Amino acid sequence: MSQTTPLLLTIAILGGTGKEGRGLAYRWAKAGYRIMIGSRTPDKALGAANELNNMLDGDASILGVSNSDAANLANIVVLTVPYSAHRATLESVKAQLQGKLLIDVTVPLAPPNVTKVQMPEAGSAAQEAREILGEDSEVTTAFQNISHEHLLNDELVNCDVLVCGTSKDARKETLKLVEAAGLTGWDAGPIENAVVVEGMTSILIGINKKYKTTHAGIKITGTNGQQ
């Protein structure tokens, strides 16, 4: 367990029973964070939490609760729901999210043509989240381009994470969690840039389909390793 991570810092993962949410929960719990997996169905969240606790041999703090309770108890909230549930989920926990950082992992995919970039009227899912929560809210976007195939394994992930957000401090806090998950993150600028990061996911899905793989990703080059 990390000796530098604040043990009392709690992360809520709303929609955390999905593959991406479980993968992030696994990595952060292993790094020493307290995790609240949230779901519209608390029993489902409890089942996911028990599964992850067993994977970590009980050496973790992962609880399964409702989305509302998770958002209320957490210091930082991560949203990993499908885009079809994006607005409804945020509106249901709007009060609990006031004054907290929201990391939005949602990608605005529009089935059945998920390989075509289709952004919402707000510009991106992250910008839509800020509209719902209010202009004073802190929102970042991250992890959209990391395949869940990697996250539940302890392998080195050869894919970078681009972080956009409403302020430099919010992006800095998000980059700490990227590092805690064992990934390489980059400050990709203001929340308006989220349109590029989120849209890239449709392109990667298309590459996966065309080249018969499951984990196409992105890598920043030409920086001499300095972030």
149 pLDDT higher than 90: no
193 pLDDT higher than 70: yes
Per-residue pLDDT tens digits for 19-29: 999 999 999 99
3 pLDDT higher than 90: no
- Of the pLDDT bands very low, low, confident and very high (cuts 50, 70, 90), residue 226 is low
Q: Summarize the confidence of residues 61-69 as an average pLDDT.
A: 96
Domain that holds residue 100: 10-210
Number of domains comprising the chain:
1
- Of the pLDDT bands very low, low, confident and very high (cuts 50, 70, 90), residue 147 is confident
Decide if 55 is inside a domain: yes
Decide if 222 is inside a domain: no
225 pLDDT higher than 70: no
Decide if 172 is inside a domain: yes
Decide if 3 is inside a domain: no
- Dist CA 184 CA 106 (whole Å): 19
Helix, strand, or coil (residue 100):
coil
Q: Which residues contact 67 (CB under 8 A, 6 or more apart)?
A: 14, 15, 38, 39, 40, 89, 92, 93
Per-residue pLDDT tens digits for 70-89: 999 999 999 999 999 999 99
How distant, in Å, are the alpha carbons of 86, 90, 107, 151, 227 from that of 79? Answer: 8, 9, 10, 16, 25
- Of the pLDDT bands very low, low, confident and very high (cuts 50, 70, 90), residue 1 is very low
User: What integer pLDDT is reported at residue 171 of this predicted model?
Assistant: 98
∠ CA 119-123-124, nearest 5°, is: 65
Decide if 175 is inside a domain: yes
User: What integer pLDDT is reported at residue 152 of this predicted model?
Assistant: 87
User: What integer pLDDT is reported at residue 4 of this predicted model?
Assistant: 45
Least confident of 3-17, 53-67, 170-184, 212-226: 3-17
Q: Summarize the confidence of residues 88-115 as an average pLDDT.
A: 96
Higher-pLDDT residue of 180, 215: 180
Q: Summarize the confidence of residues 48-73 as an average pLDDT.
A: 94
Decide if 157 is inside a domain: yes
227 pLDDT higher than 70: no
Decide if 227 is inside a domain: no
How distant, in Å, are the alpha carbons of 70, 164, 165, 227 from that of 14? Answer: 7, 20, 19, 29
CATH number for position 58: 3.40.50.720
Decide if 63 is inside a domain: yes
> What rounded mean pLDDT belongs to the chain?
92
Per-residue pLDDT tens digits for 161-175: 999 999 999 999 999
